Amino acid sequence: MPNRTVDELFQLIRTLEKGEKRNFKLYVTRNAASDDLKIIQLFDAIDHADHYDEESILRKNPSIQKQQLSNLKAHLYRQILTSLRLLRHDQSIDIQLHEQLDFARILYNKGLYHQSLKLLQKIKELAYANNQITYWVQALFFEKKIETLHITRSFDDRANELAIEVDDLSSRLTMVGKLSNLAIQLYGLYIRVGHARDENDVERVKRFFEEKLPPNASDFTGFYERLYLYQSHAWYGFILQDLLTYYKNCQRWVDLFDKEPQMIKTETQHYIKGMHNLIIAHFMLRNDRKFDNELLRFEEFYHSKEGTATINSRVQTFVYLYLAKINKHFLDGSFSEGLKLVPYIEDKIKEFELQLDRHRTLVFYYKIACLYFGSADYENTVVYLNKIIHWKADLRSDLQCYARLLHLIAHYELGNDSILESQIRSVFRFMSKMQNLSIVEKEIFAFLRNSFRLNRTQIKKEFTRLYEVLFLIKDNPRESRSFMYLDILSWLESKIKGIPVQEVISEHFKARNKQ
């Protein structure tokens, strides 16, 4: 293993739980040598530090020489990972399979060929039960090696059976590779630029999808082939804002795990992601009851053994559960109530700082800003939008654009006319540069420019005019992304009626659910 950087060692130690730290020390002290005692000193020094300070560590631990430190860090890193592997091997099917393959090799090296073959058969059965094709293939190739080099007399025609098995698995692996590539490329495209912005974007995405999708993909019925196929179709529908395609494939994604529940433990992150996307689909389609049902189901998973098994699962379930909880307040208009979630979310963002990527943090900030906006707290709306606008990140250009647009509207509500005109020009230039100006944004900019010279009666008429224009295009797929990020119609309706925006949304929610 190559030497790890100081940062990585510090980060690894910071992620350890109490039981993992205790297990590490027990593991190291069983056969302690002088270097092992030193790595425990180094471990304790880093564990008790708020940040990594090499000079402080050397000063407080004189038995550790500066020239030893690099090797001690590498040794400590390896020992921590080894202790974690031993502690957590029963929680991961791939670690179990890897261990069994190691045992099979040890038996083979001892000349115990039949014992090795017997273990390889068990490995294949376990791999089959958990859809672990790569380990199944490794076991097969090892079995072929033994059968080729040694006379085992296992049974007749074994060579042909092995050849057929390898061919079948090879075709499956090829398909899994192609579909997983397509899924991750589409997801990466969404992370970079968001939804399709115009017909050119739509055409490019369609052409890419049709070129990359294997024509015989639907012929494969294995778990991973179907998983990546459904993911690919889901991202494709999401980018194009074809919400029915998105919803149907998210449902298939989750149904796949319902049919093979043992895979929830094996592929927990894919299950979490599938549940998140299914909830998002219900949110976008305003399927209020289905949204509530899936949210309740996901919250139960959040507290389950699988949902809390690893820090990775705890982070991901937190992110998606609390984004869904915020969306619940967006659906029913209870923005002020939703603000009660903010302190807990802020604490968790700080707690999971090492694990949370920038993209998720930015989304949380935007959602929180929308909660404040819906609660008519425009000062705090601006505070959270500034966190996005001033964050030097190259992700989610669409989120950056809509953060600036909501920022403008918040300043409008605050009556900051002195800065609004220059802000309008600045945001217009930014969004034009990003090629992000749709009809919705152009109409909003035009309204804000004109608002400076309108009296109260005139501006109410202008609100009505803008509402009527935008209402006519709200179902246009190329314009719908603007309404996903900003419920501009509800805001306009609140200005026309002279009531809070959360009251308007609450009325819409009740009207949808009369029966």
Q: 232 lies in a domain?
A: no
Contacts of 164 (CB under 8 A, 6+ apart): none
Q: 124 lies in a domain?
A: yes
Confidence (pLDDT) at 451: 75
The pLDDT of residue 367 is above 70: yes
Confidence (pLDDT) at 420: 77
Q: 26 lies in a domain?
A: yes
Whether 103 and 130 share a structural domain: yes
List the domain range (segments joined by +) for residue 147.
93-154
Rounded-to-integer distance, Cα 368 and Cα 402, Å: 14
Mean pLDDT, rounded, for 269-276:
96
The pLDDT of residue 158 is above 80: no
Q: Are 169 and 133 in contact (CB under 8 A)?
A: yes
Last residue of a domain, one of 59, 91, 123: 91
**Residues shown for the chain:** 515
- Phi and psi dihedrals of 309, rounded to 5? -65, -40
The pLDDT of residue 203 is above 50: yes
Contacts of 459 (CB under 8 A, 6+ apart): 451
Whether 78 and 102 share a structural domain: no
Rounded-to-integer distance, Cα 322 and Cα 246, Å: 21
Whether 65 and 114 share a structural domain: no
Q: Are 359 and 398 in contact (CB under 8 A)?
A: no
Last residue of a domain, one of 48, 64, 91: 91
Q: 483 lies in a domain?
A: no
Identity of the residue numbered 104:
A
Q: How confident is the model at residue 205 (pLDDT cuts 50, 70, 90)?
A: very high
Domains contained in the chain, number:
2
Rounded-to-integer distance, Cα 130 and Cα 337, Å: 43
Whether 101 and 70 share a structural domain: no
Whether 14 and 61 share a structural domain: yes
Q: 127 lies in a domain?
A: yes
Whether 40 and 84 share a structural domain: yes
Whether 109 and 126 share a structural domain: yes
Q: Are 493 and 500 in contact (CB under 8 A)?
A: no
The pLDDT of residue 440 is above 90: no
Whether 65 and 110 share a structural domain: no
Q: How confident is the model at residue 4 (pLDDT cuts 50, 70, 90)?
A: very low
Q: How confident is the model at residue 152 (pLDDT cuts 50, 70, 90)?
A: low
Whether 85 and 101 share a structural domain: no
- Separation in Å, CA 398 to CA 37, 421, 445, 458, 475: 52, 22, 17, 32, 19
pLDDT, the chain, mean: 86
Q: How confident is the model at residue 199 (pLDDT cuts 50, 70, 90)?
A: confident
Model-level pTM?
0.83
Give percent of the chain above pLDDT 70: 91
Q: How confident is the model at residue 6 (pLDDT cuts 50, 70, 90)?
A: very low
Whether 13 and 84 share a structural domain: yes
Q: 135 lies in a domain?
A: yes
Q: 200 lies in a domain?
A: no
Whether 12 and 58 share a structural domain: yes
Q: Are 368 and 404 in contact (CB under 8 A)?
A: no
Q: Are 413 and 374 in contact (CB under 8 A)?
A: no
Q: 41 lies in a domain?
A: yes
Q: Are 309 and 91 in contact (CB under 8 A)?
A: yes
Whether 76 and 102 share a structural domain: no
Alpha carbon of residue 315 to chain centroid: 10
Last residue of a domain, one of 37, 67, 91: 91
The pLDDT of residue 10 is above 60: yes
Q: How far apart are the first and last CA of the chain?
A: 63
Rounded-to-integer distance, Cα 125 and Cα 14, Å: 38
